[in-house]
Structures are given as structure tokens and as C-alpha cells.
Amino acid sequence: MSAADHHRAVAAVFTDRVHGTRDWDAPAPVEGWAARDVVLHLVEWLPGLLAAGDVELEPGPTGDPVGAWDHHVGQVQALLDAPDADRSFTHPRLGTSPLDQAIDRFYTPDVFMHTWDLARATGQDDRLDPGFSAALLEGMRPIEQLLRDSGQYGPAVPVPDDADVQDRLLGFIGRDPAWRP
């Protein structure tokens, strides 16, 4: 699957959860966050990462999580659908790679994992694709210490040995799969 198609599929599920949210102040599984903060996180960090490599996204509306997400996801998808989506992208800390691959490697998985956060916070369907869950978990295990040291992931949450792959992924990234608002 291309980076553009992968983002389109992952973002579509997140978009459904955004449009299904009725309480933006509902507590989220990330400590100190509400549902709105899940969206805010996604629309705020990628523009900074891209700008460090001279790729600009236009700022979207503020104070409206739905409008902010819709604006943001449209811009990201446009980058990925562009004929030059595979142009060279150089970030001071991440090195050089094709732009579409950088987005697919760093951003699309974040949207995927935060889909659970938003869904769980707002009482929506929180099932994640098991194939992508397994691929993420397999890719992250060898670099666990690097991920933990980055401060982007909390301590692992123990899950039963026979837990499904979604729960194992959630536990790995520091979420309690049994968390409820």
C-alpha cells in the first residue's frame, strides 16, 4: 500500500471518530488530556516536524477540533497525493528520506494509535486493525529503549500473555487497555 493510501485509510477511521465525538471535554487515556487534546496533538506536532524540513502546512481553525482536523487531514493527504510526494525531505534530527515515507513512518502510526485514545474517551468503536497493530508492535519492540527515552511513550503497561495484538500494542505504548473514562 502506498503512503498516500495508507494515510487515507488510517485517517478515515480517525476522521469518523472525530465526527462522532459529542463531548470534547471527555477525559482521554493520556494523563491530563481530554478528547480535544488528542486532536490538538495531531494537528500541532506534524506542521512543526515538516517545517523543520521546509515543508509548510497552512494553519487551520482554532477552537474547533472538527474543523481543525478536517483542515489538517486534507492538507496532509494533499501532500501525499501530490506528484512529488516522494521528494527528498531532510529533517535536522531524522535525516533525509522521501517525504511520503517520513509521513508514513512517523505520523500515520501516531494517527492510528491515537484513534484508540479518541474512541475510548468518547465511547466509540475502539477496535484497531490487527495487522497494522502487529506490524507496529514488531517494529517498535527492537527500539523500545529509544522510544522510552524519547519521552513520547510512557512505561509499558503489563497485559496478559494471551492478550490480543491490540491490547499488547496498547500496553507497549503505555496505555491500559482496560482504561475507561
pLDDT tens string, the chain, 181 residues long: the values are 999 999 999 999 999 999 999 999 999 999 999 999 999 999 999 999 999 999 999 999 988 999 999 999 999 999 999 999 999 999 988 889 999 999 999 999 999 999 999 999 999 999 999 999 999 999 999 988 888 888 788 889 999 989 999 999 999 999 999 999 8
Any idea which residue has 482554532 for its cell?
A: 62
Q: Are residues 123 and 139 in the same domain?
A: no
Q: Are residues 122 and 137 in the same domain?
A: no
pLDDT (0 to 100) of residue 51 = 94
Q: Are residues 117 and 155 in the same domain?
A: no
pLDDT (0 to 100) of residue 151 = 79
- Domain end position, chosen among 127, 144, 161: 127
* 88, β-bridge pairs: 98
pLDDT (0 to 100) of residue 150 = 81
pLDDT (0 to 100) of residue 93 = 82
At residue 114's C-alpha, the angle toward residues 166 and 46, to 5°, is 135
pLDDT (0 to 100) of residue 165 = 97
pLDDT (0 to 100) of residue 144 = 87
Whole-number Å distance between alpha carbons of 89 and 101: 9
Residue 4, C-alpha cell as written in the block: 498516500
Distance of CA 98 to the CA centre of its chain: 19
Could you tell me the end-to-end alpha-carbon distance of the chain, in angstroms, rounded to an integer?
A: 35
- CATH number reported for the structural domain that contains residue 111 in this entry: 1.20.120
β 88-91/95-98 pair status:
antiparallel
Q: Are residues 109 and 162 in the same domain?
A: no
CA-atom Rg of the chain in angstroms:
16
Q: Are residues 153 and 165 in the same domain?
A: yes
Whole-number Å distance between alpha carbons of 48 and 57: 9
Q: Are residues 119 and 142 in the same domain?
A: no
* 96, β-bridge pairs: 90
Whole-number Å distance between alpha carbons of 6 and 89: 19
* Cα–Cα separations (whole angstroms), residue 96 to 53, 87, 89, 126: 9, 10, 5, 34
pLDDT (0 to 100) of residue 145 = 86
| Number of domains present in the structure of the chain | 2
8 Å CB contact between 11 and 111: yes
pLDDT (0 to 100) of residue 94 = 84
Q: Which range marks the domain in which residue 112 is found?
A: 3-127
pLDDT (0 to 100) of residue 15 = 98
